[in-house]
Structures are given as structure tokens and as C-alpha cells.
């Protein structure tokens, strides 16, 4: 229940915490484990976005006047500041989103790793030079910032996903506007307190709370040059098309349905641990969550008793309690959608090996729990195999051979991540070669690349060219300029560029 004393979140614009002036509405931010209202988030309007974009444009010149090395030093300082707030941010993630504290700490560690990767910008942003493309003529490609960059992010990683973009964007000399998820806006308030303490030129980083209206404003805004999106597949498409229509650079990471193929020789105990961490960690609300197990041949018989037993032993509760294995899902609406998926799969003939629907009645009013659920004997064409559920629901499909398993994986319209569990290198070699997905795990349940490598899927899981973080971030956040030059006073004589190269 919100009270009159409930804090209404500010935006951060031009170096100042600023109340939304054009808000069309406010929403409760709720702790999904307790139902407690933590704050209210304004749904900012176009005046707020305009102010943020104007500030970001005005900051482009002063920020470019800061040397690349000095920009990197700001990121070193940011890294230290975030480390000092690591536990605060992890607790904030758990409180507003629901994942366990252990999971939240891992998320914040990965967030900080993004800043560490961006600290290398004086090396990673370097261009290329070729001397003597013709006699006495040199060619070089330099990298320059793109301009004002915006990011629109989902609820499931309140700390990390905004930092797939922000540190790289500003390291490259861009200025930035973030629209957090309106469901989980609190953790970025902490991150922005630390950004504020860096004394960057006002407007280098801006935060505009809101929902759809801010997103539509970003897509249409003539003052924004690049847009990064992470969220569901239908909205990824809207963002990709909308941003492209107004000539912006765009990358849009969408939804997923990730398969975990288990070969007959897989090491059962480790495979079960990997599957459980992937399917039920963050209550299945990860774009890299493995939500379909494909057993090959007798793997089914070997795996299932151990998998079902370990799943039944998982405890469900408030993730802030460190003994809990699975926290709530993000909202009551999400809970009802997920239990609806389970109902439908059972009606369609799935065997309910573990039923998590009972947990939905647990917890205080306004909380939203769904326990880990396993649906076995599911047909490969069933909707629950094809569509993203985004909850702690694992579906098991059987394949007769590795060929059939690959066919099942590749039939999906998504292609985010997939894993294979086996000790057979030849099977791994075939799998990684043939499977249509952007991120592959070998005996790893959540094969999310570290900050120093690019992150993204294929097919409906990704629209765009350049992936998130790693080397792709520098590509996305810079424009290339190629200079061909010669000088006449070198004393070396000079040739003709066109004739001699
Ligand atoms: P979502 O698509 O509902 O929301 C994402 C963002 O888009 C939010 O900031 C939201 O305010 C905005 N938005 C929502 N509906 C909109 C609309 N109609 N028009 C304009 N903007 C809109 O996603 P979510 O529920 O917050 O996050 C879960 C989804 O994100 C899952 O599908 C998950 O797979 C995906 N995800 C993907 C990746 C990846 O790397 N591919 C990573 C994390 C999450």
C-alpha cells in the first residue's frame, strides 16, 4: 500500500536530480516478496525527455574536450565508487526485482565488470593506420563518438543491463540518456548517485523514468543518434523499426527460448546443477535461462530422477533470506501469466513432474511466488516449447539423436543462448558448428559472455548488427572517419595518389 510519505523518484537531468515535470502518471514500485510499496515512479512525459536530450546535446562538446585518458580515469573512479556500493545495489536488486541476494550480488559484480572493460578505452578505441597507401600518402581510420545515445532496458537485470551500455557509451565520448524499467527503477538511482559524484560535465549522463511514452519519444527524437534496447521480442521490433525510421543507429536485444541438450554421457550431478541454476535462477527470469531440456536417447532416464529430486529440494521465499534458493517473480501479473502457461501445458498433455503453482498462494498479500516447475513428455511443437514463459518453468523434450536435438533447437524462432552437456568433444564440435544461436555453453548452464566479449542472440532474439558490450560496444558507440593525407614539404618528393596506388 503506498502512503502519502512514499518517495516519488526523481529523474537525473543535466547533473541535477529533477522531479518529472510532464509526468502523465505514477506507478508503485513493489517488493515482489512482500507486496510492500517501495517508491513511486513517475511516467515522465515528452518535456522531461526533451530536457534530458537537450542536456545531453549540450554536453557533447565539453565531454569531447575531455581527453580519452581522462575519460577512462573517470571510469576507474566510477568502478571504485560502485564497488563501495556493491552490497547496497545487490540488496536493491533483490528488493525491487525479487532474485536472491546471491544472484543479485553476481549481477552487480557483472555490472562492475562492464565498467572495468570500458576503462580500457584508450586501447580499444584506437583506429588503424596504413603508411604509404601510395608513395608518401598515408591512410588512417579514426573513431569518434556517435553523439547522444539512449538505452531502454528491461526489469530482469536492474543493475547490469543499463551498464551493458552506459560505461562504453561515455567512455567513447558520447553522452547518454537511460530509461530504466518502470518496474525496477531503484537500483539505477544508486548508480546515478555515484555517477553524480564523479562531477562529469552536466548532461553527460541522464536518467528519465517512464514507460512507453518515453520510449516512443526516444524513437522519434531528432536529438538522439543511437538507441540500444533490451526487452521482449515484440517491443524489440517496435524499437528497431522506429529508431531506423528516424535514421538512428540501433541494436535491439529481444526475448528468448533457450535449449539445454543433454547427451547420454553427460556427468549427471554437474548437469543437474547447471540445469537448475539456469532454469530456476532469478526464478527463470533471465534471457539466458534454459527453459527447455532436450534429452538425447537414454539421457532422459539417467537425468530425470536426479533433476526432479534436486528441483523438489529447492526452497522458495524472499530472496533477501540467504538460505532461499528461488525468489518471487517480478509481479502478480507475471505470476498469473506463468501459472496460466503451466495450466495450459498440463491441459495439452504434459506430465507435471514438479508443480510450482502451489507457491503462488504463499507469502503476504501482493507478493508473487511461483515455485520451480518441471513439465515432462512435452511435444516439440507445443506452445510452451515455442514461446517464452519467463518464469521458473522447465519443459523436457526427448530426442532420439543429436541430429534430432539440433533440429529441435534450430526450429525455434529465437536464438539467444543454448547449452550442451556432454564429455564428447566431437558432439560439442558439431553442436557449436550447427546450432543457430548467438551464445553457446558447453557444460555451462548460463553461458552469458563476460564483459570483454560481445553478448547477443540471433534470429528473433536480436535485431541489429553490433552486439552488446565487449569489442562490439566500441564499434556501436563510435563512428569511423578515414583520412587520406600527404604533405608536400617532407623532402621526399610526392607521387600521384590515383596513379600510383
Ligand atoms: P519489455 O519488453 O516489456 O520492456 C522492456 C522495456 O521496454 C521497458 O523499459 C519498458 O518500459 C519498455 N516497453 C514495454 N512495452 C513497450 C511498448 N509497447 N512500447 C514501447 N516501450 C515499451 O520487457 P521486460 O518484461 O521488462 O523484460 C523481459 C524481457 O526482456 C524478456 O522477453 C527477456 O527475454 C528480455 N531480455 C532479453 C535480453 C537479451 O539480452 N536478449 C536480456 C534481458 C531481458
Question: Three cell numbers at 307?
Answer: 533433476
C-alpha 204/C-alpha 56 separation (Å) is 6
Q: Is pLDDT above 50 for 501?
A: no
With a 6 Å cutoff on the Cβ, whether 26 touches ligand 1 is no
With a 6 Å cutoff on the Cβ, whether 215 touches ligand 1 is yes
Angle ∠(89,94,99) on CA atoms, nearest 5: 130
HEC-encoded secondary structure of 156-212: CCCCCHHHHCHHHHHHCCCEEEEECCCCCCHHHHHHHHHHHCCCCCCCCEEECCCCH
With a 6 Å cutoff on the Cβ, whether 163 touches ligand 1 is no
What integer is the mean pLDDT of 45-55?
A: 98
Q: Which of 235, 281, 387 has most ligand 1 atoms within 8 Å of its beta carbon, as the pocket-test mutant?
A: 235
Q: What is the DSSP letter of 7?
A: P
Q: Which of 178, 183, 231 has most ligand 1 atoms within 8 Å of its beta carbon, as the pocket-test mutant?
A: 231
Q: Is pLDDT above 80 for 494?
A: no
With a 6 Å cutoff on the Cβ, whether 235 touches ligand 1 is yes
C-alpha 61/C-alpha 170 separation (Å) is 13
Confidence (pTM): 0.97
Give the model confidence (pLDDT) of 436-457 as tens digits: 999 999 999 999 999 999 999 9
Place of cell 503462488: 360
CA dihedral sign of residues 406, 409, 415, 419: negative
Pairing of strands 439-442, 478-485: unpaired
C-alpha 49/C-alpha 487 separation (Å) is 47
Residues recognised as catalytic: 287
What integer is the mean pLDDT of 473-484?
A: 98
CA nearest to 395, candidates 423, 387, 60, 411: 387
Q: Name the CA radius of gyration of the chain, rounded.
A: 24
With a 6 Å cutoff on the Cβ, whether 243 touches ligand 1 is no
CA dihedral sign of residues 271, 273, 278, 284: positive
Q: Is pLDDT above 90 for 399?
A: yes
* Closest residue CA from atom 19 of ligand 1: 212
pLDDT of residue 5: 74
Q: In what order do the strands lie in the sheet with 11-13?
A: 16-18, 11-13, 205-207, 175-179, 148-152, 226-230, 249-253, 462-463
What integer is the mean pLDDT of 78-99?
A: 98
C-alpha 438/C-alpha 460 separation (Å) is 11
Contact 457, 439 (CB under 8 A): yes
C-alpha 477/C-alpha 8 separation (Å) is 33
Amino acid at each position: 500500500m503506498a502512503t502519502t510519505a512514499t518517495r516519488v523518484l526523481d529523474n537525473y537531468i543535466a547533473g541535477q536530480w529533477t522531479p518529472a515535470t510532464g509526468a502523465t502518471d505514477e506507478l508503485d514500485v513493489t517488493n515482489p516478496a512482500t507486496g510492500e510499496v517501495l517508491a513511486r515512479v513517475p511516467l515522465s512525459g515528452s518535456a522531461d525527455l526533451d530536457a534530458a536530450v537537450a542536456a545531453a546535446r549540450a554536453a557533447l562538446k565539453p565531454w569531447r574536450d575531455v581527453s580519452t585518458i581522462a575519460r577512462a580515469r573517470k571510469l576507474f573512479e566510477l568502478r571504485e565508487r560502485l564497488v563501495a556500493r556493491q552490497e547496497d545495489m545487490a540488496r536493491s536488486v533483490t528488493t525491487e526485482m525479487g532474485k536472491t541476494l546471491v544472484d543479485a550480488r553476481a549481477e552487480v559484480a557483472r555490472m562492475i565488470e562492464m565498467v572495468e572493460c570500458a576503462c580500457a578505452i584508450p586501447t580499444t578505441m584506437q583506429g588503424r593506420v596504413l603508411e604509404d597507401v601510395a608513395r608518401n600518402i598515408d591512410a588512417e581510420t579514426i573513431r569518434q563518438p556517435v553523439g547522444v545515445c539512449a538505452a531502454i532496458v528491461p526489469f530482469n537485470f536492474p543493475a547490469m543491463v543499463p551498464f551493458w551500455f552506459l560505461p562504453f557509451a561515455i567512455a567513447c565520448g558520447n553522452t547518454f540518456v537511460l530509461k530504466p524499467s518502470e518496474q525496477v527503477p531503484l537500483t539505477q538511482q544508486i548508480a546515478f548517485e555515484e555517477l553524480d559524484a564523479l562531477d562529469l560535465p552536466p548532461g553527460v549522463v541522464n536518467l528519465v523514468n517512464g514507460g512507453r511514452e518515453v520510449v516512443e519519444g526516444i524513437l522519434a527524437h531528432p536529438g538522439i543518434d543511437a538507441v540500444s534496447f533490451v526487452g521482449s521480442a515484440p517491443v524489440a521490433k517496435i524499437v528497431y523499426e522506429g529508431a531506423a525510421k528516424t535514421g538512428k543507429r540501433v541494436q535491439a536485444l529481444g526475448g528468448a527460448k533457450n535449449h539445454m541438450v543433454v547427451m547420454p554421457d553427460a556427468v549427471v550431478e554437474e548437469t543437474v546443477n547447471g540445469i537448475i541454476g539456469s532454469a530456476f535462477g532469478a526464478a527463470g527470469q533471465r534471457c539466458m535461462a534454459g527453459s527447455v531440456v532436450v534429452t538425447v536417447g537414454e539421457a532422459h532416464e539417467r537425468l530425470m530422477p536426479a533433476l526432479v529430486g534436486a528441483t523438489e529440494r529447492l526452497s522458495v521465499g524472499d530472496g533477501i533470506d540467504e538460505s532461499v534458493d528461488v525468489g518471487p517473480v517480478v509481479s502478480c501479473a507475471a505470476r498469473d501469466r506463468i501459472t496460466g502457461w503451466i495450466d495450459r501445458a498440463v491441459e495439452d498433455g504434459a506430465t507435471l513432474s514438479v508443480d510450482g503453482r502451489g507457491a503462488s498462494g504463499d507469502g503476504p498479500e501482493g507478493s508473487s511466488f511461483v515455485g520451480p516447475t518441471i513439465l515432462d513428455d512435452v511435444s516439440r511443437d507445443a506452445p510452451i516449447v515455442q514461446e517464452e514463459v519467463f518464469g521458473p518453468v522447465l519443459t523436457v523434450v526427448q530426442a532420439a539423436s543429436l541430429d534430432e536435438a539440433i533440429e529441435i533447437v534450430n526450429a525455434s524462432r529465437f536464438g539467444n543462448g543454448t547449452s550442451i552437456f556432454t564429455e564428447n568433444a566431437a558432439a560439442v564440435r558439431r553442436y557449436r558448428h550447427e546450432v543457430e544461436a548467438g551464445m553457446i555453453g558447453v557444460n555451462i548452464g548460463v553461458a552469458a559472455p563476460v564483459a570483454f566479449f560481445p553478448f547477443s542472440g540471433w534470429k528473433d532474439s536480436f535485431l541489429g548488427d553490433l552486439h552488446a558490450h565487449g569489442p562490439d560496444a566500441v564499434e556501436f558507440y563510435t563512428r569511423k572517419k578515414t583520412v587520406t593525407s600527404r604533405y608536400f614539404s617532407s623532402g621526399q618528393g610526392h607521387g600521384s595518389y590515383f596513379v600510383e596506388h
